[in-house]
């Protein structure tokens, strides 16, 4: 059975217990697959990017037909760090809820709404209003050129700069290293593996470090970063407490020796670079 996330952020835990490890976060409007019913409060779920964990039922709307329709119709995502959904298209209006970057929403056609506002439908059916510039169409099919994709994925990662580090996090409220990289790719239409390693069945392949380009992924022991070019990379660092930029160049003031000297591999989306 499919379900839709109705909480601003639904926590995905390692066990059906709020005190267990936070392994991921699933954002409002995302659809998930219910694997099994655990008890009256918890279900085991799988996300669209094939990550599994335990979620509280209170954060989900479990209705197969509605989830299917929502998946087809909710073709916009929030691109601002946070976006309030208001009852009326004016800033003085009452807030219905707040969404974070990456949340899915359905945009409704309404010629009576000023162009700086968009009418949106929430999962439960209510109509609200969001600033138009805070929404962008979902990229569901990779139609960008390689160069444009590389630029976009770096820009998306940089939009999380200074977001605090949160183990298992995936929003501007708190994000971990693999959460940052997976969201940067997801918001540009590509699902990669949620954790800091290359997994068969996902589109990232190994390349030599010498062939690394902007937008490729750098893998360290238990850590992942996104390469920006010019020996710079952006990552969510437990050591740095937030999303930050560092350098692979030993002469650069942002150099981190502990990372620069422990690179395991580099991953790319583009098979043309795949080495034998």
Give the catalytic positions in this structure. 177, 223, 235
- Within 10 angstroms of residue 96's Cβ, the number of other Cβ atoms is 18
How many Å apart are CA 29 and CA 8, to the nearest integer? 9
- Sorted by sequence, the CB contacts under 8 Å of residue 145 that are 6+ apart come out as none
Cα 107 to Cα 58, 137, 206: the distances in Å are 25, 9, 38
How many Å apart are CA 106 and CA 75, to the nearest integer? 6
What angle do helix axes 146-158 and 177-186 make, rounded to 10 degrees?
Answer: 140
């Amino acid at each position: 059975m499919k379900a839709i996330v109705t909480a601003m952020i639904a926590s995905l835990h390692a066990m059906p217990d709020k005190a267990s490890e936070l392994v991921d976060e699933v954002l409002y409007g995302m659809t998930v697959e219910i694997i099994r019913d655990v008890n009256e409060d918890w279900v085991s779920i799988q996300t669209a990017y094939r990550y599994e964990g335990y979620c509280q039922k209170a954060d989900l709307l479990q209705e197969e037909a509605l989830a299917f329709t929502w998946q087809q119709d909710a073709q916009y995502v929030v691109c601002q760090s946070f976006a309030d959904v208001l009852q009326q298209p004016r800033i003085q209006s009452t807030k219905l809820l707040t969404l974070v970057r990456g949340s899915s929403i359905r945009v409704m056609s309404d010629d009576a709404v000023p162009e700086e506002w968009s009418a949106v439908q929430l999962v439960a059916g209510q109509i609200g209003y969001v600033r138009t510039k805070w929404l962008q169409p979902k990229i569901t099919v990779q139609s960008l050129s390689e160069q444009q994709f590389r630029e976009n994925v770096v820009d998306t990662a940089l939009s999380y700069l200074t977001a605090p580090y949160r183990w298992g996090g995936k929003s501007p409220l708190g994000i971990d290293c693999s959460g940052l990289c997976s969201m940067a790719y997801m918001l540009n239409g590509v699902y990669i593996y949620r954790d800091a390693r290359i997994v068969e069945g996902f589109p990232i392949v190994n390349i030599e470090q010498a062939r690394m380009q902007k937008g490729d992924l750098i893998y360290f022991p238990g850590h992942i970063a996104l390469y920006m070019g010019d020996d710079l990379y952006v990552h969510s660092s437990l050591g740095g407490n937030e999303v930050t930029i560092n350098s692979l160049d030993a002469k650069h003031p942002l150099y981190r020796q502990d990372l620069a000297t422990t690179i395991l591999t580099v991953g790319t989306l583009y098979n043309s670079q795949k080495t034998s």
